[in-house]
Amino acid sequence: MASGARNGGGGLGSRTTAKMDRQQGSTATPKAPAGKPRLSAAGGGAYRRTSSGPLPAAGAGGGRNSSESGVSSRVRVAVRLRPRNAEEQAADADFADCVELQPELKRLKLRKNNWESDTFEFDEVLTEFSSQKRVYEVVAKPVVESVLEGYNGTVMAYGQTGTGKTFTLGRLGDEDTAARGIMVRAMEDILADITPETDTVSLSYLQLYMEMIQDLLDPVNDNIAIVEDPRTGDVSLPGATVVEVRDQKSFMDLLRIGEAHRVAANTKLNTESSRSHAILMVNVRRAVKGRSEMNVSMSAENGHSSSMMDSLRPPIVRKSKLVVVDLAGSERIDKSGSEGHTLEEAKSINLSLSSLGKCINALAESSAHVPVRDSKLTRLLKDSFGGTARTSLVVTIGPSPRHRGETTSTIMFGQRAMKVQNMVKLKEEFDYKSLCRRLDIELDKLIAENERQRKYFDDEIERITAEAQYRVAEAEKECKVSLENEKMKYHQEYLDSIKILEEKWKVHQQSPKKQIKEESTSNGDVQDLLQNEKMLRQSAEDESNDLKNQLSHWKKMEATATAEVVRLRRMLDTEASQKDKLEEEIAVLKSQLMQLSLDADEVGLTADASFYVINNVSE
Ligand code: ADP
Ligand code: MG
């Protein structure tokens, strides 16, 4: 058994915390010394739903610290008497039962002889007439409700072989619905309460025999190791098969498979199921609704809301566990090996159960040392006795005076267990894994959107470039044609003028007389023609200048279009570099988150710390 410090405040080892909180516990009842009859009132609300109301819970602001202290809750113990069986009816016909029950007073009288008896008080006294439904309701239902609220829970049956442990816990009730035991009824209540879209229920079914943990859902797995989280002290069985349960039918099938494997394994090991412990572990994982949304709206009111902050807010989950334990028969097995076992085997078979008894004694007596580490059973049940779970124990007894010794020791075990105080704690935490998944999806969306925008920009640039090129080409073509036309026109006019001049020259040569007479006229004509020619040339030059201007205008336009293309390219480059930056930022955020998630797994990040991170990230 480890010291309180080593166990980190949880489990059988957390003596200091348990003691301290015992004083403030509202549900604790006065305790009688071990071994003496309990005559004090056990508290009417012993099996009622927790009266302390919802515990302080881990929220985005509060973190896990707020629920770290837990609430004091004593282990509840019920005693159940099996009716006389056929053999007892015949053999013990002339003898009175060794016990007398007073259920209304929650008392049990154990007869020593005809005149003397000891009286013991329990949280619940269940007679031989108690229905399975009533037994479930008083023993297990408060624990199941607690598990559904996010606390760990344990329901355990202790007693001599043949007194009804399996009858109480494990009956399937195939032939008679009213015969259904605690396992079946508990799963019905769990499945009825959860939200299938957001919550999951999974289970493992194990057998512990000779300090070996066997997987009843996969018998090849016959020596599963217990792994202890060094930080929280939580124990787990990573090697065990875990099956998700969606409906009652598949659960019943799993129980049947487990039972068949149990029989097969016990035949192989040449033992009976009464010598092994059967352990059903039901994991309930529930999403806490509303709290995150509330925080978002609160931060929006404060003006601090940003999409980044919202997307970095991890969802909250409650991961609780219901453990149902059908213990091996509590009778001492003969160390002479009469059952075909050697002395060593006999010791090993007894080890877990005797360790459990020692741990419960130590806890009941507030002893400094609780030998949790002595056996696999006590390590597995670390959270159930003196830990953070709500625990309910049913001790089963038979009526026969022939087994008075065993019955007495069973009753004393129950009495001691009633003194064990647990500190129930809400098993709530931030769901970093699902936050990572969500961020991954958002990142992929951003990448796709970025790719789409990039493609759009590329297309746009291509389109504008093509349009500009087309316009420039058109303008060039137009200019060329007009220039050509003008050139041809003036060339023609020039040729025509030359022709006219030549003709006039000819006429002038042929009539010299006329020449003198007409010279002046002809000179005047030539001058006119030359004048005309000059004007034409001038206008041709003007036109040519005009065209040149037009051409330079078009060239300017082309330059503008090119500049526009360059500008768009630059915009695209800026956009691309911004996108790269964004991707880098996302990668950094992601790695921070991964780190956070890892840290959360490894060193138990408190919510305060995570809030600090979230704040950092948002900055
Ligand atoms: P254990 O698991 O403690 O060894 P069982 O649950 O196998 O004991 O019970 C032994 C026998 O007694 C079984 O035949 C069972 O049906 C019967 N039995 C046990 N408890 C009751 C009860 N409350 N009412 C009727 N029969 C019972
Ligand atoms: Mg049994």
309: which 2 tokens?
């902050």
52: confidence class by pLDDT, cuts 50, 70, 90 = very low
Please check whether residue 583 lies inside any domain of the structure.
yes
Q: Quick one: which ligand is closest to 164's CA?
A: 1
- 547 with 410, same domain: the answer is no
- 134 with 274, same domain: the answer is yes
- 388 with 491, same domain: the answer is no
Atom of ligand 1 nearest to the CA of 274: 4
CB 352 within 8 A of CB 296: no
- 77 with 148, same domain: the answer is yes
Domain count, the chain: 2
CA distance 190 to 179: 19
Please check whether residue 206 lies inside any domain of the structure.
yes
Please name the amino acid found at residue 275.
Answer: R
| Pairing assessment for the beta strands 107-111 and 99-102 based on DSSP bridges | antiparallel
Instruction: Show which of 411, 430, 449 is a domain's final residue.
Output: 430
Instruction: Show which of 430, 462, 488 is a domain's final residue.
Output: 430
Pocket-testing residue among 79, 82, 132, ligand 1, by greatest number of atoms within 8 A of Cβ: 82
Q: How far is CA 40 from the centre of its chain?
A: 45
CA distance 136 to 145: 12
Query: What is the rounded average pLDDT of the residues 217-245?
Result: 94
- 148 with 131, same domain: the answer is yes
CB 589 within 8 A of CB 597: no
Task: Output Rg (C-alpha) for the chain, integer angstroms.
Answer: 47
Three-state SS for 420?
coil
CA distance 4 to 186: 32
| Pairing assessment for the beta strands 124-126 and 117-121 based on DSSP bridges | unpaired
The CA 19 to ligand 2 mean position distance, Å, reads: 35
Please check whether residue 99 lies inside any domain of the structure.
yes
CB 281 within 8 A of CB 326: no
259: which 2 tokens?
């039972």
Domain extent, residue 240, equals 71-290+311-430
pLDDT confidence of residue 516: 57
pLDDT confidence of residue 564: 85
Q: 25-34, 219-228, 533-542: which has the highest mean pLDDT?
A: 219-228
- 236 with 146, same domain: the answer is yes
Q: What is the pLDDT of residues 124-180, one digit of tens each?
A: 999 999 999 999 999 999 999 999 999 999 999 999 999 999 999 999 999 999 999
- 206 with 108, same domain: the answer is yes
Residue owning tokens 């769990």: 190
Beta-bridge partners for 110: 99, 118
Angle (deg, nearest 10), helices 343-364 and 404-417: 40
Those residues whose C-beta lies under 8 Å from the C-beta of residue 328, and which sit 6 or more positions away, are: 274, 275, 276, 277, 349, 352, 353
Instruction: Give residue ranges with CB within 6 A of ligand 1.
Output: 82-83, 85, 159, 161-167, 274, 329, 396
Q: What is the 3-state secondary structure (H, E, C) of 437-474?
A: HHHHHHHHHHHHHHHHHHHHHHHHHHHHHHHHHHHHHH
- 201 with 103, same domain: the answer is yes
Atom of ligand 1 nearest to the CA of 128: 23
Residues with CB under 5 A from ligand 2 (ion): 165-166
The CA 157 to ligand 2 mean position distance, Å, reads: 9
| Pairing assessment for the beta strands 76-81 and 124-126 based on DSSP bridges | parallel
- 226 with 184, same domain: the answer is yes
Q: 281-290, 295-304, 513-522, 541-550: which has the highest mean pLDDT?
A: 281-290
Convert 397-414 to b/e letters by CB count within 10 Å (16 or more is b): bbbbeebeebbbbbbbbb
Q: Which range has the worst mean pLDDT, 29-33, 132-136, 183-187, 470-474?
A: 29-33
381: which 2 tokens?
């049940």
- 440 with 561, same domain: the answer is yes
Four-residue CA torsion sign, 584, 589, 592, 593: negative
Please check whether residue 10 lies inside any domain of the structure.
no
CATH number of the domain bearing residue 109:
3.40.850.10
- 411 with 447, same domain: the answer is no
Q: What is the DSSP letter of 328?
A: P
Please check whether residue 603 lies inside any domain of the structure.
yes
Burial of residue 552, with CB atoms counted within 10 A of its CB: 0-12 exposed, 13-18 middle, 19 or more buried: exposed
The CA 196 to ligand 1 mean position distance, Å, reads: 35
Instruction: Show which of 430, 445, 465 is a domain's final residue.
Output: 430
pLDDT confidence of residue 50: 35
Three-state SS for 80?
strand
Ligand 1 atom 11, closest CA? 162
Q: Check residues 46 and 518 and name the one with the higher pLDDT.
A: 518
Please check whether residue 59 lies inside any domain of the structure.
no
- 493 with 562, same domain: the answer is yes
Those residues whose C-beta lies under 8 Å from the C-beta of residue 617, and which sit 6 or more positions away, are: 308, 312, 589, 592
CA distance 278 to 97: 30
Angle (deg, nearest 10), helices 182-193 and 248-268: 150
Q: Check residues 294 and 52 and name the one with the higher pLDDT.
A: 294
pLDDT confidence of residue 147: 98
Beta-bridge partners for 209: 212
Q: CA–CA distance from 241 to each of 186, 236, 237 (Å)?
A: 20, 12, 9
Please check whether residue 523 lies inside any domain of the structure.
no
Answering whether pTM is above 0.75, one says no
The CA 329 to ligand 1 mean position distance, Å, reads: 12
Please check whether residue 548 lies inside any domain of the structure.
yes
Q: 490-494, 564-568, 605-609: which has the highest mean pLDDT?
A: 490-494
